[in-house]
Amino acid sequence: MSLHISQQFNTDLETVRNKVMTMGGLVETHVQSACLALIEGDAVLAERIVENDFKVNAMEVSIDEQCTNIIARRQPTASDLRLVMMIVKTITDLERIGDEAEKVARMARELAEEGGASGNFPEIRHLGDHVRKMLHDALDAFARMDIEAAILTAAEDQRIDQEYESMVRQLITRMMEDPRCIKRSISVLWAARALERIGDHSKNICEYVIYLVKGKDVRHTTVEQLQKELHDKQ
C-alpha cells in the first residue's frame, strides 16, 4: 500500500515536472520574443506576447492546484513534500518572469507605435541574450536537479547586475549629453530593469534547487560562499 502510494506520487510528480518544463519553455519564448520586438521595433510580435501572457498565468494556477492536490491525496514524506513545495515556488517565479517579459513587450509596442527611430536598442540585445541564457540554464538545473549547475547559474546574476549597472551609467551619460533622448532612454532603462529582474527570478529558481538538494536554506547565503564550497569539494 505504501509502495503503491509512493508510485502514484512519483507518477503525479513526473506529470507536474513536465508541466513546469512546458511552462518554462513558454516563458523562455516570451522573454526572447519580447527582446526581439524591442530591438526590431516589431509591434505585432509585441502584441502577441501581451495577448499570450494569460497562458503563462493559467499554467501557474493549474500546476499550483495540482501540487496542492498531490499533497492532500498522497501525503508525501517530508523530503517528497519539500520537492512539491519547491515546485510551487518555482512556478511563482516563472509566472513573474512572464510578467516582466510582458512589460518589455508593452514597452516595445509603445515605442514602435510612437515611431521615430524604430527599434535599434543595441544595448538591450546583449543583456537580453545573457538573461535568456541564464533562465534556460536555471530551467535545465531544475529539470536535472543538478546542484552544481544551479550554483554556477546563480552566480550569473551578479554579472547580469553589473551589465545592467553599466547600461544605466551609459544611459545617464547619454541623457546628460542630449536631453532630447531622455524619454527614449528611460524606456530602455525600464526594459533593462525588467530583464535584470528576470535574472533575479532565475537565480531564485537555482536557489530552490540548491536548497532542496543540500537540505538547508541557502537562499540568504551568498553565491561566493556556495561557489567556494563547490570549489573546495572538487
Q: Which residues bind its own copies (CB under 8 A)?
A: 54, 57-58, 60-61, 64-65, 68-69, 71-72, 75, 77-78, 81-82, 85, 88-89, 92, 168, 172, 175-176, 179, 182-183, 186, 189, 193, 217, 219-220
Which residue lies nearer to its own copies by CB, 26 or 133?
Answer: 26
Amino acid at 126: H
CB of 49 to its own copies, least distance (A): 16
Q: Minimum distance between the CB of residue 234 and its own copies, rounded to whole angstroms?
A: 27
DSSP assignment of 141-182, as one string?
HHHHT-HHHHHHHHHHHHHHHHHHHHHHHHHHHHHHH-GGGH
Q: Which grid cell is 167?
A: 547600461
Chain CA centroid to CA 59, Å:
15
Residue 43 or 189: the one with the smaller Cβ distance to its own copies is: 189
Give the residue with the Cβ less far from its own copies, 193 or 214: 193
**CB of 193: closest distance to its own copies in angstroms?**
7
Residue with cell 503503491: 4
Alpha-carbon span 145 to 26, nearest angstrom: 20
Q: Which is nearer to its own copies, 3 or 72 (CB)?
A: 72
| 20 three-class SS | helix
In the complex, least distance from residue 8 CB atom to its own copies, rounded to whole angstroms: 16
Q: Which is nearer to its own copies, 42 or 93 (CB)?
A: 93
DSSP 216: S
Q: What is the DSSP code (8-state) at residue 116? A: S
Toward its own copies, which CB reaches closer, 77 or 118?
Answer: 77
Name the minimum Å distance from CB 156 to its own copies.
19
- Indicate the residue among 10 and 75 with the shorter CB distance to its own copies: 75
Which grid coordinates are listed for 163?
551589465
- Is residue 113 a contact partner of residue 41, using CB atoms and an 8 Å limit? no
> Distance of CA 90 to CAs 96, 103, 153, 172, 185, Å?
10, 20, 15, 35, 33
Spell out the alpha helix ranges (H) of the chain. Answer: 2-40, 43-74, 78-114, 122-144, 147-177, 182-214, 223-233
Instruction: Compute the least distance from the CB of residue 73 to its own copies, in Å.
Output: 8
For residue 30, the minimal CB distance to its own copies (Å) is 15
